[in-house]
Every structure is written in structure tokens, then in C-alpha cells.
Structure 1
């Protein structure tokens, strides 16, 4: 008979509470859904093997799960082309959608992809994944004030890029 520990239940509860958000995080950053599923599976395997390190606090556990998945994704995507390939894939997916705001979302995605990697990831964590700037900073291993500065710089760059695009479209 296999004995289950309280730690096993903690891991299961943390994964169950965050699984949909983790999968969405992986899908937005992977080249295709298969890569996202593989990365999530690898991350969950790591979490299970290192279950003693999972924090008991639900928010800290969520951040730990995202941190593990983020590192797995970085390793997975390291050899892949960045930026333009993801924007092109997003363009194809969004053009298939019957939505009136497709062009705006494409413009925003392209503007985010044009940011330096550190700023783009910070913007994605805050706006796509719902983290606060302080939590995103911790996840990225940054000082909170550094993250706030990078976020401010990224917002200014995004506003300028989108304003320029609107000016050109008119």
C-alpha cells in the first residue's frame, strides 16, 4: 500500500487550483499546443519530485508553480526563434477569428514582441497572467523597484508604438 503524505495533498491542491492558468501561460508562450503541454508536463514532474519545496501559502505556491514552468519554458524555447514567429502565429490564429478588435490585438502583440525580452515578459505577466508588478518581479528574480522602472519604460514604449501605428493607419 502506498502512503500519501500531507505534502502530496498540498501539491495536488496547488496544481488543481492553478492548472488552467498554468496551461494558458504555457500556451501563450509556446510555438504550438503540443509544446505547451510538454512544458507543463515537465514542470509538473519537477514540482512533484521537489514537492518538499512547495510553499504552503496558496499565493506563494502559485508563484512557485509559475516559476518552475517559466524556467522549463525558457529552456524549451531557448533554441527556437523568438518574436516574429510568435507574432506571425498569433496573426494567423487571430485572423481566423470573427472579431472586430483583431487588428488592435495584433498591433498590441506586435508592440509587445518588439520590446526587449525582459520588458515584454514583465508586461505579459502583469496583463496576460494577472500578476501584480511586485509578484512578477519576484517571479523574474528582480527587485520590485527595478520591475516598476522596467514596466514604466515598457508602457511608455507601447504607448508610443501604438500611437505611431494609429497615426499611420489614419
Structure 2
């Protein structure tokens, strides 16, 4: 039965890791590049391999560190491939499901839609979150990443601009300007 190597101190582990990194980085990167479709995927594999090495620095055999790293990189690559395959399968399934899905547009008068489209995109999104998604100002603050008070102020202003746009585009505005109301 093999005995576990004594735990290294932080400085010893850092020195060993740095030596191993300098000696093996280029080989591992080439290994990953030859087996990956994209350079950024290869860089991720190498980074993850060295992360595992850092976490398990005391378990790496001193005389076979390079080979140990290749073994870890091989398993990391396999995990990346499985993840990519699952992602592709999910995307295919969702594409099939969503191909037939059509969002039901809200039933509104034409002038309401025209008025809504004249608003800035930020105002439109606030009003959609309230009207279509049914979110409260507290929930909107989480979605938008701002304070509840900021949401209330923005929503008040958006509603005011929308009311003004509605008034300008309302069928009744034609009568109001002619004095026929």
C-alpha cells in the first residue's frame, strides 16, 4: 500500500505549481488546441486543468506531473464535449418546440400601439414588465438591477410620456384640435 506524500506547505506548493506550470503549459495548450474546435475552448481546458492541479497539488506524483496533467486535460476535454453535446441537444429540442410557438400580441387599438412605439425602448420595457409580465416595482428592481425607488420614478415618467403619446395619437385628439369635442 502506497503512502500519501506529506502535505506541502503553502510556499512549497506554490513553487511546485509554478515550476509545473512553466514546464507543462505549452504542451497542454498544444494538446488542447489539437482536440478543440476553437482556441478559446482550448484555453478553457488548460485553465481548468491547472485549477484541478492547484487544488490537488499534493496528490500529483513528482516524477509524472506532466503525464498526470495530460490525464486531467483528457477528462476535462471529455467533460467539455459532453457539455457541448447536451447544450446542442437542448438547443435542438427548444428550437423544435419554439418553432411552432407564436406569442399572442396584446389586443390593443392601433393608436395605442403607435403611441407605444414612439416611446424610448427603456420606457417600453418598463411598461411591458408591468403590463405584460405583471411584475411589481420590487420585482422590476431585481430584474433591472436598480433600487425600487428608481423603478418607481422611471415608471412614473414612462407612464406620463405614454399618456402624452396616447393623447397626441388618440382618435379623439383630432376632434379636440378642431374644437368638436
Mark the structure with the bigger radius of gyration.
2
TM-score by length of 2: 0.40
TM-score by length of 1: 0.42
